Amino acid sequence: MTDVTDDPADVASIGDRLRALRTEHGYSIRSLAERAEISSSVISEVERGKTEPSISTLKRVAAALGTSITYFFTAPSQMNGHVIRAKERITISPAGDNGHEARTSMKAQGVHFELASPHESEVLEAIFGRYEVGASTGDELYSHEGEEWAMVLKGRFKITLADEVYFLNPGDSIWFQSTTPHKIENVANEVSEYIWIDTPKSF
């Protein structure tokens, strides 16, 4: 077997990356071995850091997992994507504690925000919002620089843009310039949720 690395730490890292991606795909060792047309024992030993995999082995495994061989040698911080798991989202205060003036009028009760985009994002910000029945962004319309896009995930929202009113149901989306005075209300008889994207970042 042709070695791809002489560093035991690198071998362990390759095994960890392989196990993580296999698990994400929902493959067992046996099913991955069948897809890659290699033995289950090889995959098991690579994942446990017991075997230094050959280039041909990694190519077969990478192809079976829909990635390239460089995946196994690239640190997570160097990769193109940044995944934020649902349970890892950071809660944002809706009452203005973060210093964002445009949100200071929001009713703290009944509105819950979680950051769904990474801090590394320079201009785009995605927010997961949950509104209790009757909750809103306040009595007054507010505005700021930028633009916004949102999609309703659950419930029903009333979006007021200056003198225009829109009602959004699950699957509906809306875009507008943030300089337009706006207000958001949950008008469903249940909790309503959305994904809201601002650019530039406003929190």
Cα torsion 33, 35, 38, 39 to 10°: value is 30
150-162 tens-digit pLDDT: 999 999 999 999 9
Cross-strand pairs, 86:
none
Q: Where are the domains of the chain?
A: 8-78, 86-199
pLDDT band at 192 (very low <50, low <70, confident <90, very high): very high
Contact 29, 43 (CB under 8 A): yes
Sheet holding 147-154, edge to edge: 90-92, 111-115, 125-131, 192-199, 147-154, 173-177
Question: Which CATH superfamily groups domain 86-199?
Answer: Jelly Rolls (2.60.120.10)
At residue 10, the pLDDT reads 59
State residue 100's pLDDT score. 42
Reported as a pLDDT band with limits 50, 70 and 90, residue 11 is low
Average pLDDT over residues 13-27: 92
Q: What CATH number belongs to 8-78?
A: 1.10.260.40
